[in-house]
């Protein structure tokens, strides 16, 4: 009996762990290029010989660290990714392994690892954490034993993933791969350290007074004019609804100004813990010129009919600002999505991503998107600005995580003022829908010069940081034209709180999020898939492209149309062959009234949001009343 128990224990550990053999026979062949597992996909990566990612202890001063690093490696360039993690570009790689080992011997250094790049040339690195998610059936005792075997210590647990710390002397890729190969994990990969990018042309953009997105009559704006009706039919949609205060759109971006003149805090949901960047964790306000979040939030929710500024697409809904910046790690981006879901957001608008076409690049973010959609939250992502159609014939690609393989995720490209695909918007089977944005970048924006259209630049109007910060006046860094110091608008109440210089798929994304908010305002019980289906089924087929089964790779299912989408939600009540003897009210989107008698001093009230159809014969007795609203 004792022997049987011992044998059973050995068999159980071998079958559940599956790693005692793998520790001597991992799939990671030292002769092949390194890789990590994104779910079950082997993501091939290239190691950069001249770049290191170094994580120091908080107690070590940056100046001391920089001095000792320069003494050890000679000429270097040091880029700080956050307060403790730096990327070191080494000019002379001679004897670099010996120097790395010497740096590792410093007790104030937590980790030193090489920098890698994807096949898309996106640079990233690993420090001292592995991101894991155990399969549900793995018992807690087995989980603890696995972590103990590899001397891993838990550092964070969320609903999406766990992070575990690894010794600085261990090969983080090899250990992560062994974990995944054991068969006990949904995913296990080294925590990816890489700054997410903002998908406008420049993370500080525009104003919104001439809102061609909402209503394009071919009017002149910013020196340009477009095609009449190349818009989302917002005024027609607003006849049905301008939004519901109970609908909350989380804008995960560079932050939103507290009590902005066109987006006061009464229409913001500002929560403790909503800042995933540097500074006060409870303050999701922008810093410096970081206006991107204001611009996105304004497109969705700027106040309507207040005699200044612009009108948001869903001006009666509320905005939940969530902030990230250059210090925010990839796992914290997943945290932000989880936070929005757990704190009541109905929609999450994401005008950011990573410049890689790998749809599993960061599994925790993929899983967070799935978590949101599983919890009935609509998730919208900008597709990225990777194409250069005009002069380079480059179709670009949809960036991560807009390319994630999650049902119901809305991936948004951009159309222009002529109802064509924007020059920078990717052509891809992953595009679901497009929305109006600026036409193209100027040729000066590209280095080497390949792409863009002369005379074109950012031209969409939205909110700006009040005062001189942000995009108005136009900053010295970034895309030019516009000229440094340009003021647009240069007149009007609080004119420096607005800008006419926003664009990219960063603008298109919150347009779609705003239209989704109008749909949920009309029917809050819609699932993310139902919102997806309604938006795509009612989009306008633009650009003269070939649409097969309703879609094309240039514009997906077409350009979003708010009025068409809301009309698709309309139901009709048929009030036919009725005799009304008491006060009666009939309400619906459409009401079909036919052959009705109103008697007995009663009142029949017809209230239709959209249309009342009257047919047949009617009799209204003296003292009775028929009212149509």
Neighbours of 360 (CB within 10 A): 21
- Indicate the domain borders of the chain: 2-190, 197-567, 571-628
**Residue 205: pLDDT band with limits 50, 70, 90:** very low
C-beta separation of 556 from 596 below 8 A = no
Tokens 């766990």 correspond to: 162
The secondary element (H helix, E strand) that includes residue 142 is helix 140-149
Please give the average per-residue pLDDT across 253-280, as a whole number: 97
The three state secondary structure string of 504-516 is HHHHHHHHHHHHH
How many angstroms separate the CA atoms of 313 and 265, rounded?
18
Q: Which of 49-58, 101-110, 609-618 has the lowest mean pLDDT?
A: 609-618
pLDDT in tens, 148-189: 999 999 999 999 999 999 999 999 999 999 999 999 999 999
The DSSP letter of residue 283 is -
Cis peptide preceding 159, ω within 30 of 0? no
Residue 3 has pLDDT above 60, yes or no: no
* The predicted structure's pLDDT at residue 277: 96
Q: Give the pLDDT score at 206.
A: 44
The answer to whether the bond into 137 is cis (omega within 30° of 0) is no
Q: For the sheet with 185-190, list strands across it.
A: 153-157, 162-165, 129-134, 185-190
Which residues make Cβ contacts (< 8 Å) with residue 56, sequence separation at least 6?
65, 84, 85, 86, 108, 109, 110
Residue 6, pLDDT above cutoff 70: no
**Residues forming beta bridges with residue 612, ordered by sequence position:** 591
The yes-or-no verdict on residue 49 having pLDDT over 90 is yes
Which residues neighbour 447 within 8 Å (Cβ) at sequence distance 6 or greater? none
The whole-number average pLDDT for the span 530-555 is 97
| Digit-coded pLDDT (tens) for 381-421 | 999 999 999 988 899 999 999 999 999 999 999 999 999 99
- From the list 209, 199, 198, 197, the residue with the least C-alpha distance to 472 is 209
- What pLDDT digit, counting tens, does each position of 557-583 carry? 999 999 999 999 977 889 899 999 999
Query: Kind and range of the H or E element at 175?
Result: helix 172-181
Cα R_g (the chain), whole angstroms: 28
Give the pLDDT confidence score for residue 619 in this predicted structure. Answer: 84
- Distance of alpha carbon 406 from alpha carbon 108, whole angstroms: 41
- pLDDT tens, residue by residue, 139-150: 999 999 999 999
> Tokens 């090489």 map to which residue?
114
Question: Where residue 19 falls among pLDDT bands split at 50, 70, 90?
Answer: very low
* Pair 431, 553: CB distance under 8 Å: yes
Pick from 488, 508, 478, 518: nearest CA to 212: 508
463-489 residue pLDDT tens: 999 999 999 999 998 899 999 999 999
pLDDT score of 32 more than 80: no
Cα–Cα distance measured from residue 422 to residue 402, given in angstroms and rounded to the nearest whole number: 17
- Give the pair of three-digit tokens for residue 482: 């516009």
CA distance 17 to 11: 10
Token pair for residue 516? 């989704």
Using the predicted structure, report yes or no on whether residue 11 has a pLDDT greater than 70: no
Average pLDDT of span 196-219: 67
Q: What is the pLDDT of residues 439-472, one digit of tens each?
A: 999 998 887 778 899 999 999 999 999 999 999 9
pLDDT at 593: 87
**Three-class DSSP labels, 338-388:** HHHHHCCCCEEEECEEECCCCCCCCHHHHHHHHHHHHCCCEEEEECCCCCE
pLDDT at position 558 is: 98
Mean pLDDT of the chain: 90
pLDDT tens readout for residues 494-511: 999 999 999 999 999 999
Burial of 465 (0-12, 13-18, 19+ CB in 10 A): buried
Measured CA to CA, the distance from residue 62 to residue 74 in angstroms comes to: 17
What pLDDT, on the 0 to 100 scale, is given for residue 199?
Answer: 64
Q: Does domain 197-567 have CATH number 1.25.40.10?
A: no
- Cα–Cα distances in angstroms (integers) from residue 278 to residues 275, 336, 376, 466, in the given order: 8, 14, 30, 21
Structure pTM? 0.85
Q: Which neighbouring-strand residues pair with 611?
A: 590
In this structure, the strands spanning 378-382 and 410-415 are: parallel
pLDDT of res. 28: 45
- The percent of residues in the chain predicted with pLDDT above 70, rounded, is 93
Q: Work out the pLDDT band at 21, boundaries 50, 70, 90.
A: very low
Q: What's residue 200's pLDDT?
A: 45
User: Which has the minimum average pLDDT: 63-77, 113-127, 421-435, 597-611?
Assistant: 597-611
3-state secondary structure of 63: helix
In this prediction, residue 198 carries a pLDDT of: 61
What confidence category does residue 41 fall into, taking pLDDT thresholds of 50, 70 and 90? very high
Structure tokens given for 10? 């050995």
The pLDDT value recorded for residue 587 is 86
Residue 56: count of CB within 10 angstroms of its CB: 22
Among the residue ranges 14-28, 329-343, 520-534, 595-609, the one predicted with the least confidence is: 14-28
First-to-last alpha carbon distance for the chain, in angstroms, is 85
pLDDT of residue 137: 96
């Amino acid at each position: 009996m004792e022997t049987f128990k011992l044998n059973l224990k050995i068999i159980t550990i071998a079958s559940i762990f599956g790693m005692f053999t793998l520790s001597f026979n991992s799939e990671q062949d030292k002769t092949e290029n390194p890789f990590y597992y994104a779910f079950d996909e082997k993501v091939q990566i290239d190691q950069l010989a001249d770049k290191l990612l170094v994580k120091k202890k908080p107690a070590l001063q940056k100046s001391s660290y920089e001095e000792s690093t320069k003494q050890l490696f000679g000429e270097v360039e040091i880029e700080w990714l956050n307060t403790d993690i730096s990327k070191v570009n080494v000019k002379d790689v001679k004897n670099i392994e010996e120097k790395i080992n010497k740096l590792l011997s410093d007790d104030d250094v937590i980790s030193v690892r090489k920098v890698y790049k994807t096949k898309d040339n996106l640079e990233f690195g690993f420090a001292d954490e592995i991101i894991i998610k155990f399969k549900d059936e793995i018992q807690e005792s087995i989980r603890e034993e696995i972590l103990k075997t590899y001397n891993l210590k838990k550092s964070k647990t969320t609903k999406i993933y766990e992070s575990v710390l690894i010794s600085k002397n261990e090969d983080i890729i090899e250990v992560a791969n062994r974990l995944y190969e054991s068969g006990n994990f949904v995913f296990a990969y080294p925590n990816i350290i890489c700054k997410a990018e903002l998908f406008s042309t420049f993370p500080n953009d525009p104003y919104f007074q001439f809102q061609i997105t909402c209503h394009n009559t071919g009017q002149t704006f910013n020196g340009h004019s477009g095609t009449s009706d190349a818009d989302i039919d917002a005024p027609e949609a607003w006849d049905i609804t301008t939004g519901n205060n109970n609908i909350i759109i989380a804008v995960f971006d560079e932050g939103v100004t507290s009590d902005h003149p066109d987006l006061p805090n009464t229409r913001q949901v500002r929560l403790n813990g909503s800042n995933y960047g540097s500074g006060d964790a409870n303050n999701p306000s922008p810093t410096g010129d970081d206006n991107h979040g204001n611009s996105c939030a304004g497109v969705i929710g700027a106040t309507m009919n207040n005699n200044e500024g612009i009108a948001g697409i869903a001006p009666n809904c509320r905005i939940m600002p969530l902030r990230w910046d250059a210090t925010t790690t990839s796992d914290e981006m997943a945290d932000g999505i989880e936070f929005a879901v757990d704190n009541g957001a109905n929609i999450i608008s994401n005008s950011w991503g990573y410049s890689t076409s790998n749809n599993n690049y960061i599994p925790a973010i993929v899983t967070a998107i799935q978590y949101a959609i599983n919890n009935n939250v609509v998730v919208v992502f900008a597709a990225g600005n990777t194409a250069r159609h005009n002069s380079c014939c480059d179709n670009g690609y949809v960036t991560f995580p807009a390319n994630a393989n999650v049902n119901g995720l809305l991936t948004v490209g951009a159309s222009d003022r002529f109802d064509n695909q924007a020059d920078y918007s990717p052509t891809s089977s992953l595009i679901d829908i497009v929305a109006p944005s600026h036409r193209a970048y100027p040729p000066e924006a590209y280095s080497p010069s390949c792409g863009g259209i002369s005379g074109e630049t950012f031209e969409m109007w939205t909110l700006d940081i009040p005062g001189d910060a942000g995009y108005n006046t136009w900053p010295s860094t970034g895309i030019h034209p516009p000229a440094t110091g340009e003021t647009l608008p240069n007149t009007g109440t609080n004119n420096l709180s607005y800008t006419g210089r926003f664009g990219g798929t960063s603008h298109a994304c919150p347009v779609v999020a705003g239209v989704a908010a109008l749909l949920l305002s009309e029917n809050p019980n819609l699932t993310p898939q139902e919102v997806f289906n309604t938006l795509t089924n009612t989009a306008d087929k633009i650009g003269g492209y070939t649409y097969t089964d309703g879609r094309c790779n240039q514009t997906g299912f077409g350009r979003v149309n708010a009025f068409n989408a809301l009309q698709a939600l309309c139901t009709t009540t048929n009030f036919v062959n009725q005799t009304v003897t008491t006060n009666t009210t009939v309400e619906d989107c459409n009401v079909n009234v036919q052959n009705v008698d109103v008697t007995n001093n009663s009142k029949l009230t017809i209230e239709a949001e959209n249309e009342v159809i009257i047919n047949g014969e009617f009799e209204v007795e003296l003292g009775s009343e028929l009212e149509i609203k």
